[in-house]
Structure 1
């Protein structure tokens, strides 16, 4: 049998992993240990293998073999009297690029980390891992700006009825209102509102928020658990391997997203053409030959409405169009579920997400790190360190399991009462829980590992599984707020993120996301071309892939093609060395 495209790609990824393993064996011999030592201004110019070990001087100058610091919008550096490192224009241009990228990325349901990481290295000239930390702060700002818009928006199907639907081939209950022209829909809506149900309650339309909070409560903690694991792994990895893995993952994701874009674009294009043709046909011929057909259709629709509200079940040879049996009890329960789902700001669900975030943040601060000391005196060599790390996993995974099983129970009740699911809804069961949990955990690992928000992995996954693009982007963006803020805190406590840059680019991305998403969402809603979001997403991920591999090649070239090995997980400086670092840094600040 001919292998599929996915099998071929996975085979190539396996071959690449073997190459990377071979390169690491070469690095294990310390072939380039001496060539990778840099002078740190701390404590009489000590030599370090990585400038991340040099407190306050995270940037690497390979040409001069030194570590240096920098200031936001600085015209020169106080540690650089020869003015080798002016970053004024880098920061100005970076702010403009970050603003534009935040708007486009957030509209697609991703944080933009795949753009920020390579641009942080190329444009802002940060080292790889500080760039990842800055990326997380930027993602947090962008996703928070998008959340302010998403939380007010409603689901694309704004007029949900309390009637049953038809049972589809996937055993999903779907609504009737598909494939009709605008005029037919308006007439059908009037008939629905004027009809009476068995309990003589007045008909009305229902809606629900664009964000799927139930899905977010299940998937967000699973993604955060993966992010914790990703940050742990990242501390061990050399920069070249870190960026290569990022490129491989993003490249595969870009291909998957592009294939989805091609399929979705054809569907959107076909639907748009059919809708225009139907509306033009109605406008030109409605007064002549269409009247009998419309009356007949209206009669059939009215008949269907009557059938829906009685216990009668229509006989049909087509299993996909069987009218579901209904009664007054199911109708009452269905309305109760619709009213519950209609709440735009479900307090208990939003509170659940907030409690989840606070719990993880508290445990992270208790652990401390190189950037922020633990308030209870814990270091990475302390016996309590692995205990608190385990508590992080128990906290988030416990949340995910609790809300996951609640999601399955709620879905079973909906199916039992003939709930009118949207055709892009997920019918949750144990199998889907496991499937989504595994891939979401993997997306979280990628988020913590390479400094992206996880949306570049999770967003395409949701699209492949059939979730509506707008719902997917809004729900993913909500999860990214939690994940990126949590990972940003972890980077800060690890001493990898300059505070002034983190706060500034957080603000820039917040404004850019709010502005860009507002206009892009308006275009998608007006045209109905949801595939535009998928296409932009594929382009963003493709650009990020190219950027990652370009940076790997440039860095290896500057290092004379030396592949360094894995780093130590735990390095605790003694009190004297730490005090030396602090005193010298204070002296330099006073000299300014």
Structure 2
């Protein structure tokens, strides 16, 4: 019920925000008709200067208080972002623009580098630990194959929409989305905290009872909270081999390579030309093909299990894999990628809360989300590198910081979860990162939008082809 309410909130808010653009445009047109020609000339000049290569602002990499502060914020943001499975792009972009002094596009490119580094180190850490409750990999490859192609397709759409949407509308959509998902994740964390408290009290009561057997309930608690530390019967190398599923990893890599090739080819042709749209549209059959194959597989396995009376989940998610639920997952995957394309993040702001919403335990949700984000973020990094959109020294430094932060953040938080026996801590970290991103991106976006209004800049939708 809460999930339906969140979806209704997002869809209705997004619809109102997008429709409001037409009223703003009509108000501008009716307020001063001669203004339109001046706005058009101003828009074209601003746009050409914004997209030109001379618009890059790249500070020199040298020791200063700005670099120290950026390092601290980047370390903490990467550590918390990867633990929650959201990446942290909503924190990195404001930090790089306000503190270090990069332009917005370069900040978004460097943000992708940081997300890629933190996600990759988190994946390496997670591959070396077992699943907390089952003899299955800590990364749910079924969910990765389901969401990764739709997330990458959504990123492509988000980049295209970022050219068309006015800046103030992107700010409004980000605030709506982040506040909604952070609130829902926070409520989810409180629900888990209450359940964990009840289970811990029950476990303590049964421990105090002098009996020969602890009972089925106590055994369940004991197995559920035996978290993410290598079991004695398996070495780290054995756990690593068990967690890797090479066939599925190869499929994900192939999808990544195909998307990369199409993006490179698309950037080498004229915008809105015939070949441009051919390369753009070829992304859809690739994403939908992999998504459709995984969807059919999940549906068939679900029906087969239900027909035999086996209610065990096919993968980590506890939902019934029906066409409606699969369509919902597809919508959320595209939405997460679209937000990532608009914002310059890895799409984890949707994927992380979504995995929790469909019944994935926090440890697996974090491992799976960071695994998927590694592909989406690395795709953007390669593309930005080919476009020479970020300085190499800064990219190497910030990526190194994020690699260390991602690994040690996972290590520290998982040990805290082990000691306190509360996996809800991961959910609270996820909610906190999303809320902090909403505040930072919202404040910067509102300030910039006010300046645009004062400068009487055009506030409506832009033309896609002429804005390329």
- TM-score after normalising by structure 1: 0.66
| Secondary structure at 1:153 match in 2 | coil
Pick from 72, 78, 89: which aligns with 1:96? 72
- Indicate the residue corresponding to 2:23 in structure 1: 22
For residues 153-232 of structure 1, what are the structure 2 equivalents within 5 Å?
153-158=129-134, 207-232=135-160
**How far did 1:231 drift?**
1.0
Aligned equivalent of 1:461: 354
Return closer, same or farther for 1:562/1:133 CA change in 2, 3 Å cut-off.
Answer: farther
Superposition map of 1:316-395 within 5 A: 343-368=242-267, 374=268, 378-395=269-286
Residues 228, 487 of structure 1: 8 Å contact kept: no
Aligned to 1:484: 377
Q: Kindly state the Cα deviation for residue 412 of structure 1 after the two structures are TM-superposed.
A: 4.1
CA–CA distance in structure 2, aligned partners of residues 11 and 225 of structure 1? 23
Distance in 2 between residues matched to 1:431 and 1:383, nearest whole Å: 35
* 1:489-537 superposed Cα distances (whole Å, 9 cap, x missing partner): 4445566544443343222212211111111112113322111111111
**CA-based RMSD:** 3.2
Pairwise CA distance, 1:49 = 4.0
Pairing 1:64-83 to 2, within 5 Å after superposition: 69-73=57-61
Find the residue that maps to 1:379 and give its secondary structure.
coil
Gaps in structure 1 of 5+ consecutive residues: 39-46, 59-68, 76-87, 159-206, 302-341, 369-373, 574-592
Cα gap change, 1:262 to 1:405, in 2 (>3 Å) = same
Question: Take 1:552 and 1:154, find their aligned partners in 2: how far apart are those partners?
Answer: 42
How far off is 1:215 after superposition?
1.4
CA displacement 1:309-362 (0-9 Å, x = unmatched): xxxxxxxxxxxxxxxxxxxxxxxxxxxxxxxxx942121111111111111111
Question: Structure 1: how far apart are the matches of 2:317 and 2:202?
Answer: 20
1:523 aligns with 2:422: no
Change (3 A) 1:31 1:439: same
What is the CA distance between 1:102 and its match in structure 2? Answer: 0.5
* Aligned pairs, number: 432
Q: Distance in 2 between matches of 1:402 and 1:5?
A: 30
Q: Which residue of 1 aligns with 2:287?
A: 396
- Paired residues of 1:114 and 1:545 also in contact (CA < 8 A): yes
Structure exhibiting the larger radius of gyration computed from Cα positions: 1
Give the 3 Å change call, closer, same or farther, for CA 225–35 of structure 1 in structure 2: closer
Match of 1:507 among 400, 407, 410: 400
Is the alpha carbon distance of 1:151 and 1:30 closer, same or farther for their aligned partners in structure 2, counting shifts above 3 Å?
farther
Three-state SS of the structure 2 residue aligned to 1:154 is: coil
Match of residue 176 from structure 2: 248
Do the aligned residues in 2 keep the contact of 1:448 with 1:487 (CA within 8 Å)? no
Q: Is the CA contact 2:163–2:467 (under 8 Å) kept in the aligned structure 1?
A: no
Corresponding position of 1:562: 456
CA distance, structure 2, for counterparts of residue 127 and residue 238 of structure 1: 18
Task: Write 1 or 2 for the structure with the bigger share of helix.
Answer: 2
Bigger relative contact order, structure 1 or 2 (CA pairs below 8 A, ≥6 apart)? 2
Contact 1:234 1:449 in 2 (8 A): yes
Does the 8 Å CA contact 2:10/2:176 hold for their aligned counterparts? no
Q: For structure 2, which runs of at least 5 residues remain unmatched after alignment?
A: 30-34, 220-240
Q: Name the counterpart of 1:550.
A: 443
Q: TM-score, normalised by structure 2?
A: 0.82
* Cα pair 2:256 2:375 within 8 Å, conserved: yes
Residue pair 2:61, 2:394 contacting (<8 A) in 1 also: no
Q: Is the 8 A contact 2:171 2:442 kept in 1?
A: yes
Equivalent-residue separation in structure 1 for 2:287 and 2:320 (angstroms): 23
1:103-118 equivalences under 5 Å are 103-118=79-94
Distance 1:27 1:494, change over 3 A: farther
Counterparts of 2:16 and 2:329 in 1: how far apart (Å)?
A: 27
How far, CA to CA, are the matches of 1:534 and 1:463 in structure 2?
8
CA distance 1:249–1:276, shift in 2 (3 Å)? same
Does the CA-based 8 Å contact 2:336-2:350 persist in structure 1?
yes
Residue 554 of structure 1: how far off its partner (Å): 2.1
CA contact (8 A) 1:33 1:49 kept: no
Please, which of 46, 49, 52 is the counterpart of residue 50 of structure 2?
Answer: 52
Change (3 A) 1:404 1:242: same
